[in-house]
């Protein structure tokens, strides 16, 4: 359930005494990580994605300002709020930290109550933004990501797979004769089918990088990073077979089944290819699956063809 994630704080200070003090202050309310230098802080921030970073300024090698600049220049860490903690209490140092993107500034020696309140303020902002983002990227009927969320995800994976020169696969899935089902059994039962299919798709994902979303109406999409056509087709056929075997209970009296048609394509992203081509190709393959009789997987690899083991 959304909202149960434990909030976390990363403390960055080369003095053990201050790390211990801050850990004792905050560990009852948050998961606490600690780094003794700027290099470790950047690595830990990327690895654990803390909700707030408490950053000392005076450190050997990579000081707090340089560490802050690195955090704010990396897309994986730039949105994490950073509270600077420094023995420098003049306006010049505070202004420099805020100009680099710090969210707040606390001077040493600090009051425990002030530290707790300022961390809590940042945590509250993070949680509110997370809730807003969750609501705006989740399909309210099925509980899985929505089309907006998919668009964000495909943008990210397109860039990543382009850098790595890896294949990116997409399947578009459509429930067969869904209008007839709605007309026969009612829209409430149709909504239940959408929820059942969404759960089946979510449960079918084998890797954390695989991504399923509701595209709209009775259509769903699954994005498979670093997956070639062969792997995508095996996944698509497994999903098609699993859905075909799901019993749908009607009014607690009898059960019926539903089937899906799936279009699959694979592209190695490149600068000269528009990512909309990925969706267009999968959509063409889906259209062919519908034309050929439904309840099948079709692939696009320059032309559309059906696929069987």
Task: Show the tokens assigned to 184.
Answer: 């026969």
Instruction: Out of 11-15, 93-97, 223-227, 271-275, pick the least confident.
Output: 93-97
15, 92, 218, 303: which one is catalytic? Answer: 218
Whole-angstrom CA distances from 28 to 6, 54, 116, 118 are 11, 16, 11, 16
Identify the CA nearest to 103 among candidates 115, 92, 118.
Answer: 118
Q: Does domain 147-306 have CATH number 3.30.70.270?
A: yes
**Sequence-distant (≥ 6) Cβ neighbours of residue 111 within 8 angstroms:** none
What distance in Å separates the CA atoms of residue 106 and residue 94, rounded to the nearest whole number? 9
Q: Which residue has the tokens 């850098």?
A: 163
According to the model, what pLDDT value does residue 250 have?
85
Residue bearing the bigger pLDDT, 303 or 16: 16
Span 298-305, mean pLDDT?
76
Q: In what order do the strands lie in the sheet with 104-107?
A: 31-35, 8-12, 52-56, 82-86, 104-107
Query: In angstroms, rounded to a whole number, what is the distance separating the alpha carbons of residues 170 and 154?
Result: 10
Active-site residue flag, 218 = yes
Complete DSSP assignment for 222-235: EEEET--HHHHHHH
- Secondary structure in 3-state letters for 252-266: CCEEECCCEEEEEEE
Residues 6+ apart with CB under 8 A from 63: 38, 57
- Under the banding of pLDDT at 50, 70 and 90, the label for residue 304 is low
Nearest to 145 by CA among 209, 79, 222, 208: 222
Region 269-274: mean pLDDT is 90
When pLDDT is cut at 50, 70 and 90, the band that residue 49 belongs to is very high
Q: What is the mean pLDDT of residues 79-100?
A: 86
Phi and psi at 136, nearest 5°, equal -80, -15
Instruction: Please compute the mean of the pLDDT values over residues 183-190 and round it to a whole number.
Output: 94
Q: Which CATH architecture has domain 8-136?
A: 3-Layer(aba) Sandwich (3.40)
d(CA 191, CA 74): 41
Average pLDDT, the chain: 92
Identify the CA nearest to 40 among candidates 70, 17, 76.
70
Name the more confident of 108 and 307: 108
What pLDDT band is residue 2 in, cutting at 50, 70 and 90? very low
Could you tell me which of 63, 228, 214, 191 has the C-alpha nearest to residue 236?
Answer: 228
- The candidate with the shortest Cα–Cα distance to 53, out of 11, 90, 97, 108, is 11
pLDDT band at 309 (very low <50, low <70, confident <90, very high): very low
| Structure-token pair, residue 157 | 């994976």
Output 190 or 110, whichever has higher pLDDT: 190
The pTM is what? 0.75
Residue 1, pLDDT above cutoff 70: no
Look up residue 221 and give its two tokens.
């999409």
Cβ burial of 203 (10 Å; 0-12, 13-18, 19+) is: exposed
- Distance in angstroms (rounded) separating the CA atoms of residues 269 and 267: 6
Q: Each residue of 111-124: pLDDT tens digit?
A: 899 999 999 999 99
Q: Please give the backbone phi and psi of residue 161, each rounded to the nearest 5 degrees, phi first.
A: -70, -25
Q: Using alpha carbons, select from 301, 272, 268, 273 the residue that is nearest to residue 163.
A: 268
Q: What is the mean pLDDT of residues 151-175?
A: 95
pLDDT tens across 205-231, in order?
Answer: 999 999 999 999 999 999 999 999 999
pLDDT at 5: 66
- Annotated domain spans of the chain: 8-136, 147-306
Q: Which of 52-56, 67-71, 94-98, 190-194 has the lowest mean pLDDT?
A: 94-98
Q: What is the pLDDT of residue 214?
A: 97
């Amino acid at each position: 359930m959304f909202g149960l994630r434990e909030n976390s704080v990363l403390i960055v200070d080369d003095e053990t005494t201050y790390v211990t003090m801050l850990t004792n202050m905050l560990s009852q309310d948050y998961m606490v990580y600690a780094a003794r230098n700027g290099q470790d802080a950047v690595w830990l921030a990327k690895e654990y994605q803390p909700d707030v970073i408490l950053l000392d300024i005076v450190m050997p090698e990579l000081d707090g300002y340089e560490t802050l600049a690195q955090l704010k220049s990396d897309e994986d860490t730039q949105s994490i709020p950073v509270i600077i903690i420094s023995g420098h209490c003049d306006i010049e140092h505070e202004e420099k930290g805020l100009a680099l993107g710090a969210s707040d500034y606390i001077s040493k020696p600090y009051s425990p109550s002030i530290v707790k309140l300022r961390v809590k303020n940042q945590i509250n902002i993070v949680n509110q933004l997370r809730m807003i983002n969750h609501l705006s990227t989740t399909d309210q009927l099925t509980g899985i990501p929505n089309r907006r969320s998919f668009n964000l995800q495909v943008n990210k994976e397109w860039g990543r797979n382009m850098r790595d020169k890896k294949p990116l696969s997409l399947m578009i899935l459509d429930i067969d004769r869904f209008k007839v089902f709605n007309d026969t059994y009612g829209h409430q039962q149709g909504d239940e089918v959408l929820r059942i299919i969404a759960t089946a798709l979510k449960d079918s994902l084998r890797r954390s990088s695989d991504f399923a979303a509701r595209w709209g109406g009775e259509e769903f999409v699954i994005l498979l990073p670093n997956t070639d056509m062969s792997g995508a087709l095996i996944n698509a056929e497994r999903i098609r077979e699993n859905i075909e075997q799901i019993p749908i209970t009607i009014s607690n009296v009898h059960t019926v089944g539903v089937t899906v048609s799936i279009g699959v394509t694979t592209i190695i992203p490149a600068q000269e290819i528009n990512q909309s081509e990925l969706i267009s190709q999968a959509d063409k393959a889906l259209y062919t699956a519908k034309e050929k009789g439904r309840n099948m997987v079709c692939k696009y690899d320059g032309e559309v063809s059906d696929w069987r083991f």
